[in-house]
């Protein structure tokens, strides 16, 4: 197995000794996390409720900045640049897009949802917008289902379609990374399968980090898995290895379903 250092050039993020505290230090939610996140792969974050998966995900695009009383120390680099340094945060959040548990399309048409970010950046050229909307909807495997009703309201789509629309909206901004916080937990098995198939395609172009409660999902879709427990990163490895040969008894217990 390659070490984190040997893999360094292929890492999108390098996280080292990262600590995060909520409530001005009262809740130590991430404890000394060291985790490389490789480029153009799917990394799954797993572990029982409250272990810090979403907190770590939100560190990657500084969404935790929006929460009062959060303190962070340690190193978190993206492409060797300090994410917590003096950087343009709006630009970071374009480069590191996010898809949430509950599909959250904006209250407007399918087309306008996908064009929203570009328009906010001042793009008005219809040809350019049409082009990006089509490319993004194709990229999110939704184009064929909606191409004849782009002006329809997004809320008329099924939950699974809405989630793919949110992915299209994210892709439209040409991110480098897509963070997904339990993106299929509100979806039925067929819609879930479509999103999982889509991730297989997306990872050719993007680095994906996904929080999932489903170990089956982590096994199906991820290249690497990191197992968290009470704010600690217990172990991380190639997904197949982590499930077949966990090094730590706590990981073994979790993946065997002994607790959850």
Q: Which residues bind ligand ATP (CB under 6 A)?
A: 22-23, 27, 29, 47, 49-55, 67
Token pair for 198:
């889509």
Least distance to ligand ATP from the beta carbon of 172, Å? 27
Least distance to ligand ATP from the beta carbon of 252, Å? 19
d(CA 37, CA 13): 5
* CB nearer to ligand ATP: pick between 168 and 210: 210
d(CA 151, CA 200): 29
* CB nearer to ligand ATP: pick between 69 and 156: 69
d(CA 109, CA 62): 29
Strand-pair partners of 33: 18
Beta-carbon contacts of residue 178 (< 8 Å; ≥ 6 apart): 97, 98, 99, 167, 170, 171, 202, 206, 207, 208, 209
Least distance to ligand ATP from the beta carbon of 102, Å? 13
Beta-carbon contacts of residue 63 (< 8 Å; ≥ 6 apart): 93, 98
* CB nearer to ligand ATP: pick between 134 and 232: 232
* CB nearer to ligand ATP: pick between 185 and 205: 185
* CB nearer to ligand ATP: pick between 110 and 208: 208
Least distance to ligand ATP from the beta carbon of 58, Å? 8
Least distance to ligand ATP from the beta carbon of 100, Å? 11
């Amino acid at each position: 197995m390659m070490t984190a250092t040997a893999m360094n050039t292929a890492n999108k993020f390098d996280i080292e000794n990262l600590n995060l505290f909520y409530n001005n230090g009262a809740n130590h939610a991430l404890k000394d996390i060291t985790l490389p996140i490789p480029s153009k792969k799917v990394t799954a974050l797993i572990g029982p409720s409250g272990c810090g998966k979403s907190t770590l995900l939100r560190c990657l695009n500084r969404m935790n900045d929006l929460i009062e009383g959060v303190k962070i120390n340690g190193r978190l680099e993206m492409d060797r640049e300090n994410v917590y340094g003096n950087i343009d945060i709006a630009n970071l959040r374009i480069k590191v897009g996010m898809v949430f548990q509950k599909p959250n399309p904006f209250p407007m048409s399918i087309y306008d949802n996908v064009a929203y970010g570009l328009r906010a950046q001042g793009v008005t050229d219809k040809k350019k917008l049409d082009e990006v909307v089509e490319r993004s909807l194709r990229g999110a495997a939704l184009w064929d289902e909606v191409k004849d009703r782009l002006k329809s309201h997004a809320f008329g789509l099924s939950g699974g379609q809405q989630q793919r629309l949110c992915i299209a909206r994210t892709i439209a901004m040409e991110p480098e990374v897509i963070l997904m916080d339990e993106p299929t937990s509100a979806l039925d098995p067929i819609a879930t399968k479509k999103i999982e198939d889509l991730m297989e395609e997306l990872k050719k172009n993007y680095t994906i980090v996904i929080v999932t409660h489903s170990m089956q999902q982590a096994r199906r879709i991820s290249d690497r898995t990191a197992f968290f427990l009470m704010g600690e990163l217990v172990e991380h490895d190639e997904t197949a290895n982590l499930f077949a040969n966990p090094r730590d008894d706590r990981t073994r217990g979790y993946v065997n379903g002994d607790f959850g």
